[in-house]
């Protein structure tokens, strides 16, 4: 018995008008429309889907909708009304387009039809977008904003460091062995007062102590002030005076941008942490070794809180790129790790596994055993991350907290 839907819709979305095409099981186009992403446009789309069949058993929710994105106002409006929405990979539609037209002709009208055809042909293999709660959705947005802010901060820091390498070489080295380096609040305050070798060399111990105290330092202020004064007094190669003055202007401008980037990143980190701690599942994430609030928030952002999204731990590991992938053809067989995956989740799991090595005897024992049998550093961490992620899936599904002995058995003591 054919359980595929009788009708399938495809939407080629854009900023203004969205082309819609509906096909039946045979692939014939039965309806077309062009609707804006407005309340009236959504009502027009729902009216089109409701009118596909004059029967009391037919409703718009029986018509799955394919679209090339998983975000935006139109997607949110459809999901808010219970419409089943499927994200269709843009690369797959490009492949469909090449097969449909050797000349690769493209139009919004034809792309909407191709999306519908892809969803019809792939029925049974594709899954609708997960039903996350508003709390999880807001955490996801904040996490992604924090990651973008952190990336911007790191880019500006690299630019500032390159400038200091020419204008103030001592500043590149003087905080290098301290946590966060020139990202420290006290380092940024000192650089604002002395952005070049010449201006930094004129800073006295008294002035440096005042700057450090104003930046929030409370311990060993005088010792640090003497250390900085002595470091800035060491002779270094210098630019011509006029060039150095121009460099000071650029350093201060970049430093102002860097200050803003650091403050934005810190504010978003605090907001991410607060949103995550308010989620009901936060205590389960935090019960795992090496999983702090920020790591937990990033895991929640990528996994979501739809209990039906991943039926098994293996499915979650594959989504994170932690399940091995086997290539077999004829007599050849090759096992490798997955490269097509959620890369943000994979990166978070890698860091999570690294942090767990000093907090979990079971994780440390598993890592050491994999290294002993010849696994690389990254390969051994993938095994540890996979074990942790499977444990997380188990605990989330059952509402349980992490237990070291249940996760690793006899190896939890470190002697297994």
Determine the pLDDT at residue 83: 93
Average confidence (pLDDT) over 29-39? 93
Greater model confidence, 127 or 186: 186
How far lies 224's CA from each of 66, 187, 207, 319, in Å? Answer: 61, 11, 12, 48
Question: What confidence tier does 2 reach under pLDDT thresholds 50, 70, 90?
Answer: low
Determine the pLDDT at residue 106: 73
* pLDDT averaged over every residue in the chain: 91
Question: What confidence tier does 412 reach under pLDDT thresholds 50, 70, 90?
Answer: low
Q: Is the pLDDT of residue 157 over 70?
A: yes
Q: How many CB atoms lie within 10 A of CB 313?
A: 19
Residue percentage of the chain with pLDDT more than 70: 96
Least-confidence region, from 48-52, 158-162, 327-331 = 327-331
pLDDT, one tens digit per residue, over 296-336 is: 999 999 999 999 899 999 999 999 999 888 877 777 787 77
Distance CA 400, CA 416 (A): 24
pLDDT, one tens digit per residue, over 62-81 is: 999 999 888 889 999 999 99
Distance CA 247, CA 241 (A): 10
Q: Which residues have a Cβ under 8 Å from the Cβ of 301 and sit 6 or more positions away?
A: 136, 139, 140, 143, 144, 344
Question: What confidence tier does 99 reach under pLDDT thresholds 50, 70, 90?
Answer: confident
Question: What confidence tier does 97 reach under pLDDT thresholds 50, 70, 90?
Answer: confident
Residue percentage of the chain with pLDDT more than 90: 74
Determine the pLDDT at residue 103: 62
Identity of the highest mean pLDDT range in 100-104, 109-113, 145-149:
145-149
Q: What is the pTM of this model?
A: 0.87
Determine the pLDDT at residue 411: 55
Determine the pLDDT at residue 415: 41
Rounded to 10 degrees, the C-alpha dihedral 407/306/149/322 comes to: 40
Determine the pLDDT at residue 180: 93
* H or E stretch covering 343: helix 343-356
How far lies 389's CA from each of 272, 306, 315, 407, in Å? Answer: 21, 16, 10, 11
Angle at which helix 343-356 crosses helix 377-398, to 10 degrees, equals 100
Taking the chain, what is the end-to-end CA distance rounded to the nearest angstrom?
52
Q: Is the pLDDT of residue 3 over 90?
A: no
> CA 215: distance to chain centroid?
32
Distance CA 127, CA 278 (A): 29
Average confidence (pLDDT) over 94-112? 76
pLDDT, one tens digit per residue, over 123-146 is: 888 888 888 899 999 999 999 999
DSSP class per residue in 43-93? HHHHHHHHTTS-STT--GGGS-EEES-S-SHHHHHHHHTT--EEE--HHHH
CATH architecture of 7-121: 2-Layer Sandwich (3.30)
Q: Is the pLDDT of residue 267 over 90?
A: yes
Strand order in the sheet with 7-12: 29-36, 17-24, 7-12, 65-67, 85-87
Determine the pLDDT at residue 102: 67
pLDDT, one tens digit per residue, over 206-249 is: 999 999 999 999 999 999 999 999 999 999 888 898 999 999 99
Determine the pLDDT at residue 331: 76
pLDDT, one tens digit per residue, over 342-365 is: 999 999 999 999 999 999 999 999
Average confidence (pLDDT) over 21-40? 92
């Amino acid at each position: 018995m054919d359980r595929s839907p009788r009708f399938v819709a495809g939407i080629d979305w854009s900023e203004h008008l969205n082309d819609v095409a509906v096909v039946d099981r045979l692939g014939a186009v039965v309806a077309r429309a062009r609707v804006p992403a407005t309340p009236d446009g959504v009502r027009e789309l729902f009216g089109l889907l409701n009118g596909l069949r004059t029967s009391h058993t037919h409703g718009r929710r029986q018509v799955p909708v394919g679209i090339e994105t998983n975000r935006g106002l139109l997607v949110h409006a459809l999901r808010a009304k219970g419409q089943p929405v499927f994200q269709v990979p843009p690369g797959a539609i490009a492949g469909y387009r090449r097969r449909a037209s050797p000349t690769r002709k493209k139009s919004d009208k034809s792309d909407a039809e191709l999306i519908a055809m892809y969803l019809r042909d792939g029925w049974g293999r594709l899954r609708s977008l997960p039903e996350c709660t508003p709390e999880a959705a807001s955490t996801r947005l904040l996490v992604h904003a924090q990651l973008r802010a952190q990336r911007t901060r790191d880019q500006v820091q690299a630019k500032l460091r390159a400038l200091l390498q020419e204008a103030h070489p001592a500043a590149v080295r003087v905080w290098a062995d301290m946590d966060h380096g020139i990202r420290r609040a006290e380092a940024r305050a000192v650089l604002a007062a002395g952005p070049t070798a010449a201006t930094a060399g004129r800073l006295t111990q008294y002035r440096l102590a005042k700057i450090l105290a104003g930046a929030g330092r409370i311990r060993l202020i005088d010792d640090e002030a003497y250390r900085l004064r002595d470091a800035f007094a060491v002779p270094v190669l210098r630019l011509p005076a006029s060039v150095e003055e121009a460099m000071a202007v650029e350093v201060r401008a970049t430093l102002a941008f860097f200050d803003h980037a650091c403050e934005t990143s810190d504010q978003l980190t605090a907001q991410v942490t607060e949103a995550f701690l308010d989620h009901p599942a936060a205590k389960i994430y935090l019960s795992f070794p090496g999983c702090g609030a920020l790591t937990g928030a990033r895991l929640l952002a990528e996994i979501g809180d739809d209990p039906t999204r991943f039926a098994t731990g293996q499915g979650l590991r594959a989504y994170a790129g932690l399940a091995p992938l086997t290539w077999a053809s004829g007599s050849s067989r090759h096992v490798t790790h997955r490269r097509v995956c959620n890369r943000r989740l994979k990166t978070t799991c890698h860091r999570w596994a690294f942090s767990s090595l000093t907090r979990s005897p079971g994780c440390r024992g598993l890592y050491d055993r994999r290294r002993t049998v010849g696994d690389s550093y990254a390969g051994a961490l993938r095994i540890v991350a996979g074990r942790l992620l499977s444990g997380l899936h188990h605990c989330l599904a059952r509402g349980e907290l992490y237990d070291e002995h249940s996760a690793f058995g006899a190896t939890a003591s470190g002697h297994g």
